[in-house]
Copies of this chain bind each other. A is one copy, B any other.
Amino acid sequence: MSDHAFSLDDRAAIYRVIAERRDMRHFIEGEVAPELLARLLAAAHQAPSVGLMQPWRFLRITDRVLRSRIQQLVEDERVRTAEALGERSDDFMKLKVEGIGQCAEVLVVALSDDRERHIFGRRTLPEMDMASVSCAIQNLWLTARAEGLGMGWVSLFDPQALAELLAMPEGAWPLAVLCLGPVAEFYPVPMLVQEGWAIEQPLQDMLFENQWGVAG
């Protein structure tokens, strides 16, 4: 074992939070204390970023009218997604896909504008900025879970419409509507499994050695 390893208890806490994090859609009344929200955002901000570009931007939505408009954008896309799903449309419409109306806090996370000048690590993979923002959101998710707060990442929206609603400049791009707040309980398994929408596939099927399709 490495000299740099955390204690057994500390490692267990980290594995536990990864295992117990859930994509939440059900929230209860309550608030997120400002200093707690600040801690979560500080953890997000400590994410890795390609070439240290720190492409994440967080918009806290405190205006109730704006929150309701965001919810409407999500509802519009929910219907369009259902149409696109064909035979699974009815099952999809039964799922709860967002908790925007109930959660304590709504955060929109977006890619910054002015990203073209960041070439390091992105010349052939420009989507690395999206990867960095996703790592920041995962940090937020894990710390929220550890603090006992639920979080859900909603990606059912027209990004252009959401960008316009929040006066984003050209080049900025919303990736997430995050619902954050107290929950009655965390789903024991992912909600989409609980609801019979999807089945988790085992890691073994996703692990190869040296060549695609060759089991390790």
Residues on A lying within 8 angstroms of B by beta carbon are: 1-7, 9-11, 13-19, 21, 23, 39, 41-43, 45-48, 50-52, 54, 56-63, 66, 77, 80-81, 84-85, 92, 110, 112, 119-125, 127-128, 130-135, 137-139, 141-143, 146-149, 153, 155-159, 166-169, 172, 175, 182-183, 185-186, 190, 192-193, 197-198, 200-201, 203, 206-213, 216
Contact = CB atoms under 8 A, between A and B. Distances in A.
A31 to B, nearest CB: 11
B52 A200 contact: yes
Contacts of A208: 57-60
A142 B200 contact: no
| Number of copies of this kind of chain in the complex | 2
A128 B155 contact: yes
A211 B167 contact: yes
Given A190-B52, A210-B62, A13 B18 contact: no
A68 B172 CA distance: 38
A196 to B, nearest CB: 11
Given A84-B123, A125-B155, A137-B135, A58 B206 contact: yes
9 closest residue pairs by CB, A with B: A2-B148, A5-B148, A134-B134, A10-B13, A4-B148, A52-B198, A131-B134, A45-B203, A135-B138
A207 to B, nearest CB: 5
